[in-house]
């Protein structure tokens, strides 16, 4: 789905007029789903023929709302502006809603922000990482995902990933009788049950089953590969403390989202429960949510999601803060972050001393077709593009072949319930 641009308006009087000849002429959003999940792609066009920028504003659960914020509110404010004034534009658009912030508004802002950085790189003739200070490393280590029912099967898949060059592998363990996050359904019936969210979540079964499997996998694979695990915010603070103690023998590179954002104040207690490195942040929509955790030194990895934080402009400042407090970054990069968003991740990864590891999505052939220049890991590593800007393009004709699903269809993914029928965090 491609929305037509809103009527072009004259620049509002409180917006600084263009300081040069280059100016923004239109802002458009494109909705497509070559990966299966909805993408919101923002295109900022200029009066220079062929010069435009691309940004990722993807939130698979609120796709159309974000598109409307860009097309109907933020985009028209940008027309006539100099695209080089990114800091000024970002602050003005951020404040324009008055009740600023939140995931929907920030995703919309991020689409524009990243597109402006893309334009800046193209105007300069430099890749984005050069604008962010240049390379601090030659490549960014990536982690891939493995899931399974038992330690033997998981071990085989971890070692196979290691053979392909991955030094980091996230391991998710299916728990019999419960709807476990991050594991593939066993058959078509189970797949449909999960799609309709007919299953349920049993925390007690998870806590009994998963730590033992992770420890078994560690013993089988040895110490030559880093293992990660994602609890996906499904635990209470006390349950999270139990998990931290229970997974000590697994020697994890990090344990992700042991606590939900609402329970972040408990990270200090979680830190004392064990020595497992802690990662959190993909659900955070404000840079300020990280600051107490950095200041208290209670996390080890920041799982930043550039679209949800409002773009490169605020995220690069957060990354600098992580460096100052000794916290490493592990940017969110699953399939619901488009190749445009992943390219922004890689640019920050290779330019920051704070970088730890990058999540690697397995982009489908359809996604790579729609996004020429998509970042694809080689030997478990992301190498930065040397093309100006992000180095990723967008094929509108190909995108039309992959329309998004109806509103609420993708929301089913998040509609989880406990065994007693109560709503549970996904």
First to last CA, the chain: 28
**From 39, 52, 143, 181, active-site residue:** 181
Q: Looking up tokens 């998004």, which residue turns up?
A: 404
* Contacting residues for 301 by C-beta, under 8 A, at least 6 apart: 254, 256, 277, 278, 279, 280, 281, 327, 328, 329, 330, 356, 357
Active site residue 232: yes
Phi/psi class of residue 396: alpha, beta or left (left: φ > 0; alpha: ψ in -120 to 50)? alpha
Q: Side-chain half-sphere of 300: how many Cα atoms within 13 Å?
A: 16
- 199/182 Cα distance (integer angstroms): 14
> Is 382 within 8 Å of 360 (Cβ atoms)?
yes
Answer yes or no: are the C-beta atoms of 233 and 173 closer than 8 Å: no
What order do you get walking across the sheet with 24-32 strand by strand?
24-32, 39-46, 52-56
User: How distant, in Å, are the alpha carbons of 142, 356, 401 from that of 332?
Assistant: 11, 12, 27
301-302 and 328-329 as β-strands: parallel, antiparallel, unpaired? parallel
Say how far apart CA 11 and CA 47 lie, in whole Å: 15
Residue 90 falls in the annotated catalytic set: no
Residue in 90, 232, 266, 410 annotated catalytic? 232
Q: What positions carry a catalytic annotation? A: 181, 232
């Amino acid at each position: 789905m491609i929305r037509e641009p809103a009527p072009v308006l004259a620049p509002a009087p409180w917006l600084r007029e263009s300081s040069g000849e280059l100016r923004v002429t239109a802002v458009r959003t494109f909705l497509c789903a070559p990966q299966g999940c909805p993408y919101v792609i923002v295109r900022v066009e200029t009066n220079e023929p062929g010069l435009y920028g691309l940004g990722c504003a993807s939130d698979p659960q609120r796709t159309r709302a974000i598109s409307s914020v860009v097309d109907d509110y933020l985009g028209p404010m940008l027309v006539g502006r100099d695209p080089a004034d990114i800091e000024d534009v970002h602050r003005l658009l951020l404040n324009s809603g008055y009740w600023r912030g939140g995931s929907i508004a920030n995703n919309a802002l991020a689409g524009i922000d990243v597109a402006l950085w893309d334009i800046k790189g193209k105007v300069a003739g430099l890749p984005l990482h050069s604008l962010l200070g240049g390379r601090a490393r030659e490549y960014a280590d990536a982690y891939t995902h493995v899931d399974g029912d038992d330690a033997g099967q998981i071990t085989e898949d971890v070692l196979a990933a290691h053979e392909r060059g991955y030094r980091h592998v996230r391991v998710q363990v299916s728990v019999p009788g419960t709807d476990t996050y991050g594991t593939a359904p066993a058959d078509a019936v189970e797949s449909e049950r999960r799609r309709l969210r007919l299953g349920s979540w049993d925390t007690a079964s998870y806590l009994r089953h998963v730590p033992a499997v992770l420890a078994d996998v560690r013993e089988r694979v040895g110490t030559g590969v880093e293992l990660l695990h994602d609890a996906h915010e499904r635990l209470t603070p006390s349950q999270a403390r139990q998990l931290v103690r229970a997974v000590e023998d697994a020697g994890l590179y990090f344990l992700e989202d042991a606590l939900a954002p609402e329970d972040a104040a408990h990270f200090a207690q979680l830190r004392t429960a064990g020595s497992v490195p802690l990662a959190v942040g993909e659900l955070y929509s404000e840079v300020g949510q990280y600051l107490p955790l950095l200041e208290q030194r209670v996390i080890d990895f920041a799982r930043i999601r550039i679209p949800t934080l409002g773009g490169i402009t605020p995220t690069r400042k957060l990354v600098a803060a992580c460096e100052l407090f000794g916290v490493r970054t592990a940017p969110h990069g699953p399939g619901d972050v488009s190749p445009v968003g992943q390219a922004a991740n890689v640019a920050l990864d290779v330019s920051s001393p704070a970088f730890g590891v990058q999540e690697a999505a397995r982009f489908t052939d359809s996604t790579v077709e729609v996004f020429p220049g998509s970042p694809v890991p080689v030997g478990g590593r992301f190498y930065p593009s040397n093309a100006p800007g992000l180095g990723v393009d967008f094929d509108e004709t190909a995108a039309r072949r992959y329309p998004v699903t109806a509103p609420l269809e993708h929301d089913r993914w998040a509609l989880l319930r406990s065994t007693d029928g109560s709503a549970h965090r996904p």
